[in-house]
Structures are given as C-alpha cells and as structure tokens.
A and B are shown apart, each in its own frame.
Chain A
Amino acid sequence: MIINKILVVAVALLGHSALLYGLTTMSVQPAKPKQVVMLLTPSPVPMGEDVVKQSKPQAKPRSVTRPQALKPRPAPAKAVSKVSETIKAPEQAAAGQMAAVTQAIAPAEAIPAPATAGSKNSKQISDEVPVETPPLFNTSYLANPRPSYPAQSMALGEKGRVMLRVKVSELGLPIEVELARSSGYRRLDDAARKAVERWKFVPGRRGDVAVVMSAMVPVDFVI
C-alpha cells in the first residue's frame, strides 16, 4: 500500500516534469535576428596597362578596404571574394536569423565633391583619377540596429531579400533610401527601409575627401 502511494507520487512528479520540459523545449520563441553576414565585394578595375593590385578585404569589416582605382565607366559589380563575418547578437535567439548582405557597388551616382585645391591623394595613380571608396555601413562602431522582423511577417512566413539604394551624405547620414528591389512583401520592405533610415554610414570618399555617394544595402529576412 505504501509502495503504491510512493509509485503514484513518483508518476505525478514525473508527469509534471515531463510536461514542463516539453513546454520549455517545444515553445515557440520569437525569432530574433541572430547574425549579420556582410559581404564586401569590391569591383575589380584593371587600369589600362598597369593593373592595380587587388587588395583583398580583410575579415574584419573595421578594416577599410584599400581604395582602388576606377575606370571612368564603372564596371558591373561582380563578387570577387566573399568575406563573411558573424556579429553575435547580444541575446542569442533560438530560432530565426537575419543576414544582411552588402555589396559595395561601384558607385553609380557619385557626386563630385568640391575638390579642395592642392588636396592631393597620396595614393593617387598616374593619370590622376582619385580613388573612390564606397560608403560603408557594416563597421561595428556605427552600431547600426538590425531591422526588427515584423511579427506578422513571421507569423505568415514571409521572407526574402530587400535591396535598398541609399544615398549617403558626406557626414555619413542617409539622405534618401529607395527601394531598389522589393522582397515581394510590403511589410518587409517597410521594415528594412525604416531600419536603414536610422543607420549611420562611413561616407564614401574620393581620395581623401568625403563625397555624397550611393550604396546598395541588401537586407535579408530569414526565418
């Protein structure tokens, strides 16, 4: 009889712990962005006879890519080397990750800055074409917030990549953010745009001078 009672108590305790364990492990957790993968792809630009040596971008986005010379006609951006680095979110979510992939596009609409007389680029190349550096937005000290995944989109399983064309001022602030290519979902496009509008950038430079320049910012929403 006493054994029977002990058995029953054990069964009850076991059932409760199993239920609690099941609830904690099977619970649906709100997906939070987990990693941001940055891909920097400089465009290769051969300079006439003497080919400028491609500087490989380093794994740390903090290291500014070595400037390269550009043809007057910008070559289409082709991924040459991929550098991915994972920025750990402060709170590691169990599910859901978002990757923002960026390509520094050959600046399509570089607006020439008022070049100060005598500002000579030390790294200038023989035919005096100043080196252009596209705007950056993935360096850690900028602390750009990741776009928050809209809850409704998550519930509906909406995912995709939003391409944004951002015009960056000389001070590194986004002047205008326009949708280059939609993800197919209005909600995701808006979330990405809203986030990127608050971002800060390292302004693009021609030589040593900061100029207004555009950059393509892809934002991936991955559940």
Chain B
Amino acid sequence: MDLALIWHSGDPVLVSVFVLLLMMSVVSWCLILLRSSLLLRIKRGQKRFLASFWKASDWKEATSLTAHAIAPEAKLARAGWEGFIHYRSNAGKGLGLAVSLDDFLVRTLRTRLSQENARLELGLSWLATVGSVSPFVGLFGTVWGIYHALVAIAAKGDASLATVAGPIGEALVATAAGLAVAIPAVVAYNAFVRANRVIAQGLDGFAHDLHAQLLTAAAIEKEGK
C-alpha cells in the first residue's frame, strides 16, 4: 500500500480520485466536529434555558434570558414574545395582522420553528452525499487502476502471480479509501439525524407551550384593562 507510488505513477484519473476522496473526507470531518460540538452545546443550553425560563416570574425576566442562550427554544421564545408585542402594538393595521392573536402567534412560531430546524440540518445533506457516493468514487478508482494494470501486464506478456498481484493490490487501495471516507460520514449522518429529531420534537412541544403561555398573557392583560 504505497500511496507515494500512486503519486509517482502520475495517472491523472487515479490522482484526482484520491484528491477528491481526501477533500470529501476533510470536509466531512470538519462538519462532523463542528456539528457535534454545536449539538452538545445546544443540549447543555437547552437544559439550562428551559429550567430558568419556566421559573421566570414574568415575561420581562423571561425575555432577558433569551438574549444570549444558544438553545433554539430561546430563539423561539424570543420570536414568540416579539410577535406578541408586534401584534399588540399594530393590531388591525396590516393585512397580516387582520387575524386573531392566536392565528398570528401560530404563524410566527411556525416560521421560526422551520428556520431553527433548517439551521440544525446544515451539512447533513453533504454527509449523506459523501456517505453514499465516496464508495463509488473509490470503486471507480479501483476499476480504472485494475484496467490499466491488466493492460500493462498484457503488454508485458508475463502473467505470473507477482506481476498481476502487485498493481491490482495497489488499485484496491482506492476502494479502501472510499470506504474509509464513507463509513464515518454515514455513522455521523445517522447520529445527527437522530439528534435533530429529538431536538425538533422538544422544540415542537415548547412551541405549543409557548403559544398557550402567550395567549394566557394576552388574556390576563385584557382582564387587567
């Protein structure tokens, strides 16, 4: 398994296969490291934020909590509260505001929810693509290498095991490289998809609670007037 030999052989196709696989691998690993650190931070932030958010005595305190929290729930809460304020100050003025507060809040929260989910899924399609494509890229390199090795052996006219096994063994490195790139990508993809699903479910529940909470706040305000 002599990688330097592949460079020296200078077959542009094989070299580009290896360069492509290397690039895919580097990008995948960057994504894996970045996403996993982000997910860990989100998980920790979620616990902290939810505990303090529901303990907050009033909306003022609650919104101050949302300022620097990393949890998507914080962003959702902030969006909900801002939508509530916006509705209250502009009630009946615009086309989008000619609805009940209930509908308006649902719309606001849904928009924010889809934005947060989209943010969580960043890079997942890359991982999925690499996981499914890189074995084929490696296989292509191998087939190409074996083809050329066999042509060279035919030209030499010597079909002893040593002459056949060497170049074909070299070519098989490409398949191994493709698999080495694909396996972490697939594992990471599955792990991230699951983590995202858990987060999205939590977010969904939180959105419902928030919606109810904001409507309650509006009802209390009306009673107070």
A interface residues (Cβ-Cβ under 8 A, vs B): 4-5, 8-9, 11-13, 15-16, 20, 23-24, 27-30, 148, 151
Pull 13 A–B residue pairs with CB atoms less than 8 Å apart, ordered by A.
Answer: A8-B33, A9-B26, A9-B30, A12-B26, A12-B33, A13-B26, A16-B25, A16-B26, A24-B4, A28-B1, A30-B166, A151-B162, A151-B165
- Residues of chain A within 8 A (CB-CB) of B219 are none
Identify B29's interface contact among A4, A12, A20, A29, CB under 8 A.
A12
Tell me, rounded to whole Å, the shortest Cβ–Cβ distance linking B130 to chain A. 13
- Do A8 and B30 touch across chains, with their CB atoms under 8 A apart? yes
In the assembled complex, the CB of B174 is this many whole angstroms from the nearest CB of chain A, namely: 13
A11 partner, pick from B1, B3, B33, beta carbons under 8 A = B33
Residue pair A27, B2 in contact (C-beta under 8 Å): yes
* Cβ–Cβ < 8 Å partners of B30 in chain A: 8-9, 12
- Cα distance A23–B161 in the bound complex, in angstroms: 25
Q: B98 on the interface (CB 8 Å rule)?
A: no
Annotate B31-65 by CB proximity to A: 1 below 8 A, 0 otherwise: 00110010000000000000000000000000000
With known contacts A16-B25, A30-B166, A151-B165, A23–B3 Cβ distance under 8 A: yes
A148/B25 contact (C-beta < 8 A), A12-B30, A23-B3 known:
no
Known: A30-B166, A148-B162. A8 touches B2 (CB 8 A): no
- Whether A27 touches B22, Cβ cut-off 8 Å, given contacts A8-B34, A12-B33, is no
Which label, helix, strand, loop or mixed, suits the secondary structure of the A interface? helix
Interface residues of B (CB under 8 A from A): 1-4, 22, 25-26, 29-30, 33-34, 37, 161-162, 165-166
Docked pose: A8 CA to B34 CA in angstroms: 7
Complex formed: what's the CA distance from A11 to B34 in Å? 11
Minimum C-beta distance from B127 to chain A (A): 14
Chain A residues with CB under 8 A of B37: 4, 8
Closest beta carbon of chain B to A71's beta carbon, Å: 46
Distance, CA A9 to CA B25, complexed state (A)? 11
Residues on the B chain within 8 Å of A29, using CB: 2
Q: Looking at the assembled complex, report how far the CB atom of A31 sits from the nearest CB atom of chain B, in whole angstroms.
A: 12
Chain A residue, CB-CB nearest to B33 = A8
7 new A-B contacts, CB < 8 A, other than A9-B26, A16-B26, A151-B161, are A5-B34, A8-B33, A8-B37, A12-B30, A23-B1, A24-B3, A151-B165
**Smallest Cβ-Cβ distance to A29: which chain B residue:** B2
Q: Which residue of A lies closest to B165 (CB)?
A: A151
- Chain B residues whose C-beta falls within 8 Å of the C-beta of A15 in the assembled complex: 29
* Distance from A44 Cβ to chain B, minimum over Cβ atoms (Å): 42
